[in-house]
A = this chain, B = another copy of it.
């Protein structure tokens, strides 16, 4: 699978003593979703590889296949210059505490050539204080205080998402080139004239109320934020209805102006 970003520029995801195959697989998938590929596992509980991990990765097996296993956290981060530790709550350490967005902005702005990594702790108990002390700063998540327990792969996903945004690669993959462009005002005004002409022909407006009703309807059309295609479609629909003659009863003016 071609990598769109040089792997050396993407942060490593370091899972410390992860236990569940499902979480590791989902982590690989979340990494692939946002273009990360450097997965490091420190002393995975109950051995490696784990049964079911490939299924949970749902196709992101290139990340799993390239994962490296380490016996200790210091070995896993030896080549990294900038290390962030994710924690669920304050650890009382004298470190800066960053939200994911700020943390990834800092990571994206690091010196060229400096490798970076983000530490994630065990499913139940997270990172211990000695592990956190190895990091340059702490990343935490703006979760509800009523239910702060974030799944491991979900935490990785948020970091990957914010990394991709911070690194300027978060443009929506389809930017609307398949959509019709917004309608120019001339098309809208022409549509208004057409609609109001039809309503005049239909004797729709009560005496003295034409101006107010027409203004309300123009506002309604404006709120539709129509594309050129929308205008064509609407105009065609109105034409079709008009050509239909008077066989159906339209809405009364009060309802239309309400």
Closest chain B residue, CB of each to CB of A2: B146
Residue-wise interface mask of A (230-254) relative to B, using a CB-CB cutoff of 8 A (1 in contact, 0 not): 1001000000000000000000000
* Docked-complex contact A34 and B143, CB < 8 angstroms: yes
**Interface residue A96 (Cβ < 8 Å from any Cβ of B):** yes
* Docked-complex contact B144 and A97, CB < 8 angstroms: no
User: Which range holds the interface residue count of chain A?
Assistant: 35 or more
- For the complex, what is the distance from the CA of A68 to the CA of B146, rounded to whole Å? 22
* Docked-complex contact A142 and B173, CB < 8 angstroms: yes
**Interface residue A256 (Cβ < 8 Å from any Cβ of B):** no
- For the complex, what is the distance from the CA of A2 to the CA of B146, rounded to whole Å? 7
- For the complex, what is the distance from the CA of A216 to the CA of B33, rounded to whole Å? 43
* Docked-complex contact A59 and B149, CB < 8 angstroms: yes
Q: Which of A33, A140, A179 has most chain B Cβ within 10 Å?
A: A33
**Interface residue A108 (Cβ < 8 Å from any Cβ of B):** no
**Interface residue A171 (Cβ < 8 Å from any Cβ of B):** yes
- For the complex, what is the distance from the CA of A153 to the CA of B23, rounded to whole Å? 13
Q: Smallest Cβ distance from A132 to chain B, in angstroms?
A: 13
- For the complex, what is the distance from the CA of A3 to the CA of B96, rounded to whole Å? 30
* Docked-complex contact B173 and A30, CB < 8 angstroms: no
Of B32, B59, B161, B176, the residue contacting A142 (CB under 8 A) is B161
* Docked-complex contact A97 and B146, CB < 8 angstroms: no
Contact residues in B for A174 (Cβ distance below 8 Å) = 89-90, 97, 140
* Docked-complex contact B33 and A225, CB < 8 angstroms: no
Of B30, B149, B170, the residue contacting A99 (CB under 8 A) is B170
Of B1, B141, B145, the residue contacting A146 (CB under 8 A) is B1
Q: Smallest Cβ distance from A22 to chain B, in angstroms?
A: 8
* Among all A-B residue pairs, the 6 with the closest Cβ atoms: A142-B170, A32-B147, A90-B174, A35-B144, A33-B143, A154-B157
